[in-house]
Structure 1
Amino acid sequence: MESVTRIFDLLQLYRGKYAGKGDVFAWKSRGKWADISASDYIRNSDHVSYALMALGIVPGDRVATIMGNSPFWNFLDMGILQTGGVHVPVYPTLSVENYRFIFTDARIRVLFIGCRAAYQRIKPVLNDLPDLQAYFVLEKQKGLKDWSDLVRLGRKNSNRDLLGSIRSSIRPEDLATLIYTSGTTGRPKGVMLSHVNMVSNFTAVSDILNSRDVNRALSFLPLCHVYERMLNYMYQYMGISVYYAESLDRLRENMREVKPEMFCAVPRVIEKSYATILRKGRNLKGIQKLIFFWALNLGHRFDFDLIRGPAFRLKLLIADRLVFRHWRGAFGGKLSIIVSGGAPLHPKLARVFWAAGIQVVEGYGLTETSPVIAVGTFEPGGVRFGTVGRPLTGVELKLAEDGEILVKGPNVMMGYYNRPDRNAEVFDEDGWFHTGDIGELVNGQYLKITDRKKEIFKTSLGKYIAPQVIENRIKESPFIESSMVIGENRNYPSALIVPNFEYLRSWCEAKGIEYSTNAEMSKTELVIQRIQREIKELNETLDHTWQVRKFILMEKEWSVESGELSPTLKVRRTYMQEKYAALIAGMYGEQIDYQPRHRDKKVKKPGKGFIRKK
């Protein structure tokens, strides 16, 4: 493998080792998959660089992008980086206030906007940015500079010698990107990552896949987040073709079209896939249904020690022939690897996917660590269910007295941009980065994440509650999609629960329960009673002080657009406690005079059929 010390050195692989590759990237254009070749990639990246040089961008200048996943993201990324510019990728779904803060804080010089809708969203901010000297809307719109104008500017001002000189002057230790955290509990923080931060991570992670036969990966998590971005670099480093899904809604269709060997996901995506499979199994009849659930229960018991025994292996072979091969068909037929990160995945799901021939490895990390700290591997003993694997090669890890995970390594960020106060909080005097996550080491080597340090709360009785532990247990129920446990400074824990509406629809049909909308379904007495049974069974496995005494069924799914989820699909707890303050107060019999700051979102008042006591 040729030496890669700076991110844009990946382009050298496409000038040499992968020069003949015809589908470096692919995406849906006008309803058909369109390939981007190695020469396309290099040429377009260079056009971006020449255009930025013509606009006066010099090493250290910040250039921002607001766009979804497509090969154009990669052209812009490499084009920015090989001029020494600092890439500031921003989510397309942020508030105007957050856009204004980020662009002002980073002093953005040039801005690339992916589509007309994003332009309309950001338009009110553009005149408030004194450092902004140019912006382009890639999707053609009258009166605005677009992709063709950018390419034309690059061609007109191409200077290969100057670009080569600039590339040579960029060091691995130089700042490559500013990634602003989603700001779920305050204003966004700019995480400064150098070339070596990212390169050390994707080269170390690539070692895990070296022995695997992977030619094509499907990408659907946002590239502006460090998780998918690092993996995108890893794909390029290994010569794996990257196919960009159209959307989460079309994920199943895209998988059948692309037939990927691997993809990376957050647990929420895996849980939804499993729920769909479970619903289809529930709709089977007679012997087919019996066989399905026999195979499912066998998969839930999957263990690496068990498969060494001939009896279990034979049962697994039969289950594969009758059931599991159809699962793989739903994912395109060639899928063998899923990398899961961003939140804990229930061990039951990991086991059953392994049983089905789809090997799920979990990883753990943060934006501040580029991101991987620990990950499972495919070597013997590389995966232990319920953990996120061992620390990545080159990463040092230890646990503080309170269980907080501390790390050192070449992947750890340079610091927070313009925030010396926050840097002093997260780095101790010995240089250890404090992650804010609580964990434990299983058998002294496998890392298990138990909760976020700042999310652990204390009840009015003085008992500490780790909400993530309870929430992950709640999600074991096929009737429940997600939840948020609350109860700080109150007598007991309660929960906001989003039902699995897709699963409930088939259950209601089987029970003859009539409804017209999801909201009506969530108010139906029999549905509430069924969820109550699930919570009762959960409570029997928890300590008395951790038991969920009351809950509210939400009328619709939480989403990024409606504000409950961050762009990485994590629950925004501070926002949620404000948005649903009236509902939460009602569960505890409190009266509040509440006026939501988010006036565009309706806050439902507590009412009959929503609050249920154990």
Structure 2
Amino acid sequence: MSVKTPLEMLYHWEKTTPDAVYLRQPIDGVFHDFTWAQVGEQVRRIANALIAQNFEQGSHIAILSKNCAEWFITDLAIMMADHVSVPIYFTAGQETIRYVLTHSNCQAIFIGKLDDTEHQCAAIDSHITRFAMPYGDIPARFQWQELLQQPPLASSPVPAADDTMTIIYTSGSTGNPKGVVNTFGAYGWSCQALAKALKVSNQERMLSYLPLAHITERVYVEGASLYNGFSVAFVESLDTFAENLKAVSPTLFISVPRLWTRFQMGVLAKIPPKKLNRLLSIPILKGIVAKKIRQQLGLDSARLFGSGSAPISPATLHWYERIGINISEGWGMSENNGLGTLSYPFRRDKIGCIGHPYDGVDLRIAEDGEIQLKGPCVMNEYYLEPEKTAEAFTADGYLRTGDKGTVDADGYVRITGRLKEIFKTAKGKYVAPVPIESLLMENSLIEQICVTGSNLKQPIALVVLTPEAQVHDESHLRQSLKHTLEHINKKLESHARLDALVVVNDSWSVENGLLTPTLKIKRHLIESKYHDLIQSEHSQPVVWQHH
């Protein structure tokens, strides 16, 4: 297919549907709407302001902000001014901000909505030019309104397919983040392949709230909207998330496993599981109850639901299916523009799979079980890291994903673990933690889990309980967890059976450094934090850290 760049798509909608609303930004509880024509004009003004700075062509410019209309506008303006965007997670601490800005040699940074503006801005060197988005008092050389005083750029430049569009830093689950160099061609191809697979129209509505510094949101929300011409709304804050979601009532909705679990907990806090099961088993009531729950969640208009970035428990997918929410899993990584496999249309018999490869993606399973792929969506390299780039590809040019998997007769892929996460017990047997974690998540009292056991006789699981679990007494919790443990162990080979579930006191978060910004666990850090607890003798099948 002939690949268009994001800028060409902007020019297309600016010309063909200038008055259609593209971006919707809530401020103080009111949505401020931007049409395609208005977005185009702002992009052209900001691009001109950037050109006026005389940065060298192809300079690296960072974006540090929560999702907002100005994030999209900035991203497009950086492209239009012939520079390269370097997004930084809005949850990033000083060390990460400093590392990314230094490693990528950024000349400038756009700073927007943040939770800890002063602290995060302290990590930005004085030689880096600061531009502020219009949110609060952001210390910067140029404020947004000032940038918009520039006349709009009259020309409509189109970058070459092999020009670098963006450097996306991985979330660093195993050390310093790596800078993934993605071209306009790879990004554009991915957005077009996605549009073809999902059959979306310009009538869709999406809510953008997962970090735009992550490839999933950048392709599946920003990219999808640009290549299909539909509107995107943003969330004002964490506190207004639920009401913003209801107000927007999206037709396409993607999330991550941790949030799907939180939504489920929210429903079960209002209707106890036994009562809900009873209501859903009465044919005449099932549809009414399911619809009411979807309305309460703000998802009654959605026709397509997705989950990605980490494995989701099949039990969670089955639970959602009963209330009419069929969640399609997708799988990809920064290194392939988020475009690997997709379980769409939803198939009940394929729950637990990550779907089949997109058209044009060539996927194979290597001898050691690794999933490897090739296609126009794949990155050029890791920025300034030739050795790591060489390690990332096979001799015949396939990307090594680090995930192990199998492919069934229908071409559906199932992940069986990560190569690096597989550990060896004292018995010399190898155990893959991810599939066991996925099984344990069937227990709705469990919010987070880490199966570990390098050099132990048998593996154990560290468990964080949900906030809702607090209402139960310890004997109820112990009984429930013990039942889950016995049930799961029956499904596992003898060397992989868990010795104990160890309930830890503190939850794992981005703030305490135990989750990546995309809410994956940082396994090596969790294992080092709980080293003594992991190594101690566990006399009971369910134990508490504080006992």
Normalised to the residue count of structure 2, the TM-score between the two structures is 0.92
- Counterparts of 1:224 and 1:207, CA distance in 2: 24
Partner of 2:179: 190
1:105 is matched with 103
Give the equivalent residue in structure 2 for 1:531: 481
Partner of 1:253: 243
Identify the residue that residue 39 of structure 1 maps to in structure 2: 37
Correspondence 1:452 to 2:426: no
> Residue type of the partner of 2:508?
W
Equivalent position of 2:296 in the other structure: 330
Deviations 1:175-200 (A, max 9, x none): 00001112221111100000111111
CA contact (8 A) 1:219 1:264 kept: no
Structure 1 segment 159-308 matched on structure 2, within 5 A: 159-161=153-155, 164=156, 167-168=157-158, 170-210=159-199, 215-231=204-220, 232-282=222-272, 289=275, 292-294=276-278, 296=280
Amino acid at match of 2:191: F
CA radius of gyration, larger in: 1
Partner of 2:144: 148
SS at match of 2:350: coil
Aligned amino acid, residue 168 of structure 2: I
Name the structure 1 match of 2:336: 369
Distance in 2, Cα, partners of 1:340 & 1:267:
6
1:468 corresponds to which letter in structure 2?
Answer: V
- Contact kept? 1:112, 1:138, Cα under 8 Å: no
Q: Is the 8 A contact 1:281 1:293 kept in 2?
A: no
Q: 2:341 aligns to what SS in structure 1?
A: strand
Could you tell me which residue of structure 1 aligns to residue 533 of structure 2?
583
Q: Report the equivalent of 1:518.
A: none
Distance of aligned partners of 1:583 and 1:559 in 2 relative to their CA distance in 1, 3 Å threshold: same
Q: Distance in 2 between matches of 1:539 and 1:446?
A: 26
Structure 1 runs, 4 residues or longer, greater than 6 Å off: none
Cα distance in 1 for partners of 2:234, 2:381 equals 31
Deviation at 1:249, TM superposition (A): 4.8
Matched residue, 1:466: 432
- Structure 1 residues 70 and 213 mapped into 2: Cα distance closer, same or farther (>3 Å)? closer
Number of residue pairs matched by the alignment: 543
Q: Please name the residue that 1:493 is paired with.
A: 459
Match of residue 512, structure 2, among 537, 547, 562: 562
Query: Unmatched 5+ residue regions in structure 2?
Result: none
Task: Tell me whether 536-545 or 222-231 shows the greater mean CA deviation.
Answer: 536-545
Distance change >3 Å, CA 554–CA 107, structure 1 → 2: same
1:468-496 per-position Cα deviation (integer Å, ceiling 9, x unaligned): 01111111011211200110122111111
Query: Does 1:541 find its partner at 2:491?
Result: yes
- Three-state SS of the structure 2 residue aligned to 1:448 is strand
What is the root-mean-square deviation in Å for CA atoms of aligned residues?
A: 2.6
Matched, 1:66 2:56: no
Query: 2:461·2:498 contact (CA, 8 Å) conserved in 1?
Result: yes
> 2-side partners of 1:160 and 1:319: how far apart?
59
The structure-2 alpha-carbon separation of the partners of 1:20 and 1:139, relative to structure 1 and needing over 3 Å to count, comes to closer
Q: Please say if 1:342 is aligned against 2:309.
A: yes
Q: Are the equivalent residues in 1 in contact too, given 2:132–2:139 (CA < 8 A)?
A: no
| 565-574 or 110-119, larger mean C-alpha shift | 110-119
Q: What code does the residue aligned with 1:548 have?
A: L
SS in 2 for 1:16: helix
Gaps of 5+ in 1: 299-314, 514-523, 590-607
Q: Given that residues 54 and 154 in structure 1 are in contact (C-alpha distance below 8 angstroms), is that contact kept between their aligned partners in structure 2? A: no
Give the residue type in structure 2 aligned to 1:251.
F
1:542 positional shift? 1.8
1:483-535 Cα shifts (integer Å, max 9, x gaps): 00110122111111011221x245x2xxxx4xxxxxxxxxx455334323322
The more displaced of 534-543 and 486-495 is: 534-543
Cα shift at 1:145: 3.4
Deviation track 1:289-338 (CA, whole Å, cap 9, x = no partner) reads 2xx31455x6xxxxxxxxxxxxxxxx76x354342111221232212221
Equivalent AA in structure 1 for residue 137 of structure 2: Q
Is 1:52 aligned with 2:50? yes
Q: What letter corresponds to residue 366 of structure 1 in structure 2?
A: M
Distance 2:349 2:383 in 1: 36
- The residue aligned with 1:122 is 120
Letter of the 1:60 counterpart: G
Deviation, structure 1 residue 77: 0.2
Q: 1:439 is aligned with what amino acid?
A: G
String of CA shifts for 1:146-184, please: whole Å, max 9, x gaps: 5335425633xx5524xx4xx24x201110000111222
Hey, what's the Cα distance between the residues in 2 that align with 1:567 and 1:397?
27
- 1:110-140 CA-to-partner distances (Å, cap 9, x unmatched) read 111114755422343333x75x244446434
Structure 1 vs Structure 2: percent identity of aligned residues? 30
